[in-house]
Amino acid sequence: MGEIVFVGLGLHDEMGISLRGLKELETADSVFMELYTSLMPEFSVKNFQKISGKKLHMILRQELEEESGETVLKAAETGKAVLLVPGDPLIATTHVALRIHAEKLGVRTRIVHGASILSAVIGLSGLHNYKFGKSVTIPLASGVSSETPYEVIAQNRRLGLHTLCLLDIDVTENRYLKIREGLKLLLQIEEKRKENIVTMDTLVVGVARAGSNNPQVKASFLRDLLRCDFGGPPHSIIFPGKLHFMEAEALIAFADAPENLREASE
């Protein structure tokens, strides 16, 4: 019986993989890759094959989700299969499902970690890690918008905590939610709920292209961010809770936040 090694690709392009990940590839009998759980806009399969010296078999969403990763499991029956995954592996539940399935079949599994959007946006904003409450994904709107993101922001705000909002993507349809669109969806829910959680005067931090050579981080009031062009994906949004004075300083220094943020911090 062989094994599956989940290797994290880190962020944005083919340079995000760790040396340990690259070393695992050397002894792999087959290498699979999925690029639908997170956007890696500048990932070049060709360059990666050159760097790793391995041929990549691309895995579609359907193969991993509906067919329970049969292709990968089959390769792992007799040899070492590596599954390359954007970010840090097993944050997406679809990989967890595959891993559970593999372990039940007696296939050994291991993880090689990679940089994740979860910690990257914290570092880029300069906000304190231990002040983030639960995070949430704003889904691509299809009919009525889910009110969950609004409720999560509200709950965290009541506790003085920050909220990280990841923005949904659909790689198959080549769609991704932009910061402006995410904010508008939340404003629509505000209009209905009227709890004063997401208004034009709410402080928001937009983060674009974390892990690339040109990430963009901008903190301001929602009305300003609606006018801000964040360029290419991926995008995410932070709704800060109560600010420590050092967090206010960080937002001013790293994210061009209004100087009067200082007075609102504690």
- The contact pattern for a copy of itself, residues 15-34, with x = CB under 8 A and - = no contact, is xxxxxx-xx-----------
Judged by CB under 8 A, the stretch of 26-34, 37-45, 134-142, 231-239 that binds a copy of itself is: 134-142
Site for a copy of itself in 55-94 (CB under 8 A): 87-91, 93
Rg (CA), the chain: 20
Confirm or reject binding of residue 233 to a copy of itself (CB under 8 A). Answer: no
Strands 163-167 and 235-239: antiparallel
| 45, 58, 96, 200: which one binds a copy of itself (CB under 8 A) | 96
Strands 3-8 and 80-85: parallel
- Give min distance, CB of 201 to a copy of itself, in A: 25
- The contact pattern for a copy of itself, residues 202-221, with x = CB under 8 A and - = no contact, is --------xx---x------
- Give min distance, CB of 59 to a copy of itself, in A: 18
- Give min distance, CB of 187 to a copy of itself, in A: 22
Separation between Cα atoms, residue 46 and residue 44, nearest integer Å = 5
* Closest to a copy of itself by CB, 2 or 16: 16
DSSP-assigned states of every residue in 123-142: HHHT--GGGB---EEEPPP-
Cβ-contact 4, 83 below 8 angstroms: yes
* Closest to a copy of itself by CB, 93 or 223: 93
- The contact pattern for a copy of itself, residues 149-168, with x = CB under 8 A and - = no contact, is ------x---x-x-------
Burial 2-37 (b: 16+ CB within 10 A, else e): bbbbbbbbbbbbbbbbbeebeebbeebebbbbbbbb
Confirm or reject binding of residue 100 to a copy of itself (CB under 8 A). Answer: yes
CA-nearest of 55, 87, 90 to 98 is 90
Preceding omega of 233 cis (within 30 degrees of 0): no
* Closest to a copy of itself by CB, 73 or 201: 73
CA-nearest of 89, 130, 142, 124 to 237 is 124
Contact footprint for a copy of itself (CB under 8 A): 6, 8, 10-11, 13-20, 22-23, 51, 87-91, 93, 96-97, 99-100, 103-104, 109, 111, 113-116, 118-120, 122-124, 126, 128-137, 155, 159, 161, 210-211, 215, 246, 249-250, 253-254
